[in-house]
Structure 1
Amino acid sequence: MNTAQFLVKSDLNFVDKASFTWQTPSNIALVKYWGKSNPQIPKNASISFTLKNCHTVTTIDFIKKEKSEEVTFNLFFEGKPKDEFKPKIAEFFERIQEYCPYIFEYEMTINSKNSFPHSSGIASSASGLSAIARCLMSLENEINADLSEEFINKKASFLARLGSGSASRSIEGPLVVWGNHPEIEGSSDLFGVQFPYKVHSVFENYQDAILLVDKGEKQVSSSVGHNLMINHPFAENRFLQANENLGKMSTILQEGNIKEFINLVESEALTLHAMMLTSNPYFILMKPNTLEVINSIWQYRQEHNSNICFTLDAGANVHVLYPLDEKESVNQFIDKELAKYCQKNQYICDATGLGAKQL
């Protein structure tokens, strides 16, 4: 794996201060990754829809300081100091210092906010860490101005991955593959790449309504869940299955077979949670209302010959996926039948998006 390509190779022209703001999206995996080795290398490849409305907006103010051996930063989340987030960010900076030596030259003030609840099964670490990575790359481009856009995106994904694996899939869109896979040209364990083949029109502007079944923090973090795959009795078969499913998904996306898409996406979601149920220690992130939603979706699909389906991330919330031509009817169904299973009837209407953008 060629990590040397991401080292800073030229002299840097430091500025006294700089400020950058990026909006980066969450994403929802269609083929899941669950299990990794250090440093943040996935045990299987994954593919995700980049979202449009579920995003993090992060501003980093950089002020030049005397160079020291420590990375110094202040962190504010939605206007308030957030000390409980600092260890994860500090660990991230430690992992990337070899590739971003300029972080020792600046005091950083990080201000971040989400358009959705964090730690509840919407990939908040994905959007949060990718936003920080994108701000860092804006600084790197400022002090080393001959970087190409392609390189900036690739390195931003590479850096984001070192904070949160799924964050590697939040730099670009609308479909991103992370993990080396023989059928996906250019794919890598080190960074995410846009799905390189023409996608059938039925999957363009695909809709994702996120039902907020439980807005509380997860009882078991994704990091802990990933680690439980190390001695999992079904781990090796799962990694093989996921890579096979990604090959199948590639064909489905190109050919537009929506019935096969539904089957594979739902199977992947349930397999992810089956891995949690069969870990030791075992755990359950679904809630009773998660199952109520799933059963209601299955019933609606059968009765209306619909192409609605669901997927789940590592949490209780349900992502309701459906093609654009069913938007009106499915939204009515969600409002009348599914919203009652959400906390305070809350859900987020989202769709596929194009990745990070500077504000």
Structure 2
Amino acid sequence: MYSDSDFILSNYNSIETASFSWSAPSNIALVKYWGKKENGDQIPANPSISFTLKNCKTITSVVITSKVEKDNFSFDLLFEGQPKEDFKPKIQKFFERIYPYCPYLKDYHFTIDTQNTFPHSSGIASSASGMAAIAMNIMSLEKSIKPEISNDYFYAKASFLARLGSGSACRSIIGNVVAWGKNETIKNSSDLFGVEFGNIHSNFQNFQDTILLVDKGEKQVSSTVGHNLMHNHPFAEQRFEQAHNNIAKIVTLLETGNVTEFMSLVESEALTLHSMMMTSMPYFILMKPNTLEIINKIWKFRNDTQTPVCFTLDAGANVHVLYPENVKEKVLQFIQDELVGFCQNGQYICDEIGNGAQDLK
């Protein structure tokens, strides 16, 4: 088990130039993370567990060159090949956060070129995949200047760094099911980085996630603001305790293959997330009328046909429709027939469970 001090690098080499390229996926939480500890740096107030996605991902290439003056961070940022100035403050802040653990960052100029496989304005959170992809490239640089670091350390530190950019990004590094946050159920679980939970039943392998794009606009309340509203929330402690209990329950369900109870727990978690938003002060609602229409349609379809299909939500209006691969054709037909009309411009994205970041070099 690593502590944060284990990730402070020393005694490393230097190189003149190098290039790296990684893809990292988005993920969808099954047990939700909502709230951060006040005296921590991106430390979750409760544990979470997620499915890693496969198709919704960020592809980031980095070229580094050694520089003479080493007193500041130096980088250019391109999005889909074009300069993207409004992204630069976020990268600057990320570098500042991780610099104590990556003291070589000021030794190089970085040219960062990034793109998403999903539309940037789709309403799908790109911070998790984006920060995870950058973290993987930085760790490739670290591996180049200190080749003896282990594979386990490589991925643990990548998750640790990604977390400092965007909390949920730590769940996009490695594994098809990833837990983040210290809890008694999952061995070696940590608040500092995500850990792979690999012991899932065949019923959940190749699980599908069709993302219905209900609202592609910017949320009226950001996730950062929402997390902070948990500090004085009247139901915060009960929620944090519930999340610990639900982690224990979902681990058993993932191991035994109980899809029916899995669906109930996942839907309950999604609605609990949004109920915390509606009962904070100030209160807010991120679901849209069409979100509720879709949920009711899914419930009716499941009840009428006994098809194992459920929904989950992130901190927004879009609906993730989860189901086993063996009912894919039936569920996609249902989506076409009954749900597409509730999507903005009829748009949806077909995805499935994936395995994390991939080295593209």
TM-score class normalised by the smaller sequence: over 0.9
Consecutive unaligned residues of structure 2, counting only runs of 5 or more, are: none
For residues 128-163 of structure 1, what are the alpha-carbon distances to aligned partners after superposition, in whole Å with 9 as ceiling and x for unaligned?
000000000000001111122111100000000011
1:165 to 152, 164, 167: 167
Distance 2:355 2:62 in 1: 22
1:31 lines up with 2:26 in the alignment: no
Distance 2:81 2:92 in 1: 19
Secondary structure at the residue paired with 2:322? strand
Equivalent residue pairs, number: 357
Partner of 2:64: 62
Secondary structure at the residue paired with 1:62? strand
Secondary structure at the residue paired with 1:273? helix
Q: 1:76 deviation in Å? A: 1.6
Which residue identity lines up with residue 236 of structure 1 in the other structure? E
Partner of 1:106: 108
Partner of 2:17: 17
Secondary structure at the residue paired with 1:116? coil
Partner of 1:240: 241
User: Residues 45 and 119 from structure 1, CA distance in 2 versus in 1: closer, same or farther, beyond 3 angstroms?
Assistant: farther
Alignment of 1:42-53 (within 5 A): 42-53=44-55
Distance 1:212 1:317 in 2: 5
For residues 292-319 of structure 1, what are the alpha-carbon distances to aligned partners after superposition, in whole Å with 9 as ceiling and x for unaligned?
1111101100110011000000111100
Distance 1:2 1:160 in 2: 15
Consecutive unaligned residues of structure 1, counting only runs of 5 or more, are: none
Secondary structure at the residue paired with 2:214? coil
What fraction of aligned residue pairs are identical, expressed as a percent?
61
Q: TM-score, normalised by structure 1?
A: 0.97
Distance 2:138 2:70 in 1: 18
1:148 to 136, 147, 150: 150
Q: 1:189 deviation in Å? A: 0.5
Q: 1:13 deviation in Å? A: 2.1
Q: 1:121 deviation in Å? A: 4.8
Partner of 1:312: 313
Contact 2:24 2:58 in 1 (8 A): yes
Alignment of 1:228-267 (within 5 A): 228-267=229-268
1:195 lines up with 2:197 in the alignment: yes
Q: TM-score, normalised by structure 2?
A: 0.96
Alignment of 1:73-222 (within 5 A): 73-118=75-120, 121-196=123-198, 198-222=199-223
Q: 1:84 deviation in Å? A: 2.1
Contact 2:123 2:217 in 1 (8 A): no
Contact 1:121 1:313 in 2 (8 A): no
Distance 2:121 2:193 in 1: 23
Q: 1:120 deviation in Å? A: 5.4
Which residue identity lines up with residue 223 of structure 1 in the other structure? T
Q: 1:80 deviation in Å? A: 2.5
Q: 1:4 deviation in Å? A: 1.2
Q: 1:215 deviation in Å? A: 1.4
